[in-house]
């Protein structure tokens, strides 16, 4: 084969750029971003009214907005974009199989694992971006709501901590979504499976069997988010949770590489 004059661009950034262009060139990301923003807004507003009306009946005591903890919980609601990050990761991968664009991707890059790796990188960025937009909207909303309320002050450091956890958690959940989508190529199955797991099975396990729950992806996410004040002492440290989440993504992707990723594309 003759070599042409065109220099060969380095593989990694080129594939990452291709994956980011895939995201940018369809509208899927917009719809999910709107969903994430609405969800965050709803969460902040409902947290606000929950703290206002709390402690009037006989239920468990909720920290009021006169305490630092109560104010922190309110702002922590702004970090709720992670679920949408998971979904965008799943859709990003499974739609390649659904629309058979995976054929073109594998023709361009026959080493299939590199496509998955690049997509994980791209969706980590997408997940982080979702979290950032959610944080901006959620913080603004919280500030506006607090303007009408007698409340304790909140430090910039705390806001930064919340934001850090939310961005890291969403990025890792998006990576996990890509891994799930590689293993379960059917879009509906992957999406339903992941949502049932996260919202039902795991939520219950984390709540009622914390000793087990802390080792699950949801427990790991809670560990990452614990700077938000939503966590509690049974979780791993932040770095431990982040590593565990990444580990889950890599194990799933590894399982996919050994099974579904090798399958015939036809």
Instruction: State which of residues 103, 186, 234, 259 lies at the interface with another protein (CB under 8 A).
Output: 103
Reading the block at residue 34, the tokens are 């709107």
Cβ at position 109, least distance to another protein in Å: 6
Instruction: State which of residues 46, 53, 55, 100 lies at the interface with another protein (CB under 8 A).
Output: 100
Instruction: State which of residues 34, 49, 104, 239 lies at the interface with another protein (CB under 8 A).
Output: 104
111 scored as a contact of another protein (CB under 8 A): yes
Nearer Cβ to another protein (67/95): 95
Q: Which positions from 18 through 57 interact with another protein, judged by CB under 8 A?
A: 18, 21-22, 25-28
Of 236, 233, 232, nearest in space to 244 by CA: 236
Q: What angle do CA 71, 32, 182 make, to 5 degrees?
A: 115
Nearer Cβ to another protein (55/103): 103
Distance from C-alpha of 61 to C-alpha of 243, rounded to nearest angstrom: 33
Backbone angles phi, psi at 185, to 5 degrees: -75, -20
Of 195, 68, 174, 50, nearest in space to 120 by CA: 174
204 scored as a contact of another protein (CB under 8 A): no
106 scored as a contact of another protein (CB under 8 A): yes
Residue spans of beta strands (DSSP E) within the chain: none
Residues in binding contact with another protein, number by CB under 8 A: 34
Instruction: State which of residues 37, 44, 87, 105 lies at the interface with another protein (CB under 8 A).
Output: 105
Nearer Cβ to another protein (70/121): 121
Q: Which positions from 243 through 262 interact with another protein, judged by CB under 8 A?
A: 262
Residue spans of beta strands (DSSP E) within 167-213: none
Nearer Cβ to another protein (161/187): 187
Distance from C-alpha of 236 to C-alpha of 217, rounded to nearest angstrom: 12
Please enumerate in sequence order all residues whose Cβ is within 8 A of that of 231, keeping only pairs 6 or more positions apart, or say none.
222, 223, 225
Given the rule CB under 8 A, which residues bind another protein?
1-2, 4, 6, 8-9, 11, 14-15, 17-18, 21-22, 25-28, 95, 99-101, 103-111, 262, 264-266
């Amino acid at each position: 084969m003759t070599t042409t004059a065109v220099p060969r661009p380095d593989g990694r950034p080129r594939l990452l750029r291709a994956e980011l262009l895939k995201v940018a060139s369809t509208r899927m990301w917009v719809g999910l971003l709107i969903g994430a923003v609405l969800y965050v807004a709803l969460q902040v507003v409902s947290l606000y009214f929950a703290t206002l009306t709390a402690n009037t009946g006989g239920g468990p005591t909720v920290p009021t907005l006169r305490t630092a903890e109560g104010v922190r919980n309110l702002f922590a609601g702004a970090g709720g974009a992670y679920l949408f990050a998971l979904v965008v990761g799943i859709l990003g991968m499974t739609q390649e199989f659904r629309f058979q664009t995976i054929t073109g991707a594998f023709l361009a890059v026959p080493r299939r694992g590199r496509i998955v790796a690049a997509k994980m990188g791209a969706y980590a960025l997408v997940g982080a971006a979702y979290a950032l937009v959610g944080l901006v909207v959620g913080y603004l909303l919280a500030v506006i709501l607090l303007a009408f309320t007698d409340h304790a002050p909140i430090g910039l450091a705390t806001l930064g901590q919340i934001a850090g956890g939310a961005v890291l958690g969403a990025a890792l959940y998006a990576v996990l979504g890509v891994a799930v989508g590689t293993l379960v190529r059917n879009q509906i199955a992957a999406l339903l499976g992941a949502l049932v797991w996260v919202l039902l099975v795991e939520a219950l396990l984390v709540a009622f069997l914390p000793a087990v729950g802390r080792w699950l992806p949801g427990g790991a996410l809670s560990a990452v988010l614990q700077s938000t004040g939503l966590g509690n002492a049974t979780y791993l440290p932040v770095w431990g949770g982040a590593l565990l989440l990444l580990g889950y993504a890599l194990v799933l992707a590894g399982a996919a590489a050994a099974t579904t990723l090798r399958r015939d594309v036809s």
